[in-house]
Amino acid sequence: MELGKITWCSGCPNFSILNSVRKVVEELKIKEKVSIATGIGCHGKIFDYLDLSGIYCLHGRTLPTMLGMKFGNPNLKVIGFSGDGDCYAEGMAHFIHNCRYNADMTLIVHNNQTFSLTTGQPTPVSEENYKDKTMVKGSFGNTINPIRLALSSGCSFVARVYALDSEMMNEVLKEAINHKGFSFVEILQPCIVLHDTREMINKNLYKLNHDRKDIGKAMAKASEWDYNKEGKIGVGVFYQEKKKCLEEKWDLLSSFMKEGKSWHDK
Ligand X SMILES: Cc1ncc(C[n+]2csc(CCOP(=O)(O)OP(=O)(O)O)c2C)c(N)n1
Pick the closer one to ligand X by CB: 74 or 124: 124
Q: Which span (26-34, 108-116, 160-168, 173-181) binds ligand X, by CB under 6 A? A: 108-116
Measured between alpha carbons, how far is 61 from 86 in angstroms, rounded to an integer? Answer: 8
Least distance to ligand X from the beta carbon of 80, Å? 12
Residues 177-196 that bind ligand X (CB under 6 A): none
Determine the interface stretch with ligand X among 112-120, 158-166, 174-182, 201-209 (rule: CB under 6 A): 112-120
* Binding window for ligand X (CB under 6 A); candidates: 34-42, 150-158, 201-209, 213-221: 34-42
Q: Which is nearer to ligand X, 78 or 87 (CB)?
A: 87
d(CA 48, CA 74): 24
Is residue 94 part of the contact set for ligand X (CB under 6 A)? Answer: no
Q: Please, what's the b/e burial string for 228-264 (b: 16 or more CB within 10 A of its CB; e: otherwise)?
A: beeeebbbbbbbbbeeebbbbeeeebbebbeeeebee
* Distance separating alpha carbons of residues 55 and 66, to the nearest angstrom: 9
User: In this structure, are strands 77-83 and 34-38 parallel, antiparallel, or unpaired?
Assistant: parallel
* Rounded distance between C-alpha atoms, residue 239 and residue 125, angstroms: 21
Which position among 24, 25, 37, 42 is part of the footprint of ligand X (CB under 6 A)? 42
The reply to whether 118 sits near ligand X by the rule CB under 6 A is: yes
- Cα(205)–Cα(207) distance, integer angstroms: 7
Q: How far is the CB of 59 from ligand X (least distance, A)?
A: 3
Nearest to 179 by CA among 100, 249, 240, 237: 240
Q: Please, is 31 exposed, middle or buried when counting C-beta atoms within 10 Å of its C-beta (0-12, 13-18, 19+)?
A: middle
Closest Cα partner for 161 from 93, 219, 109?
A: 109
- The yes or no reply on residue 170 touching ligand X (CB under 6 A) is no
| Residue 110 touching ligand X (CB under 6 A) | yes
The yes or no reply on residue 116 touching ligand X (CB under 6 A) is: yes
Binder among 13, 25, 36, 39 for ligand X (CB under 6 A): 39
The residues pairing with 126 across neighbouring beta strands, listed in sequence order, are none
Q: How many residues bind ligand X (CB under 6 A)?
A: 19
**Residue whose CB is less far from ligand X, 130 or 239:** 130
Of 35 and 114, the one with the shorter C-beta distance to ligand X is 114
Contact criterion met (CB below 8 Å) for 149 and 136: no
Residue ranges binding ligand X (CB under 6 A): 39-43, 58-59, 83-86, 90, 110, 112, 115-118, 123
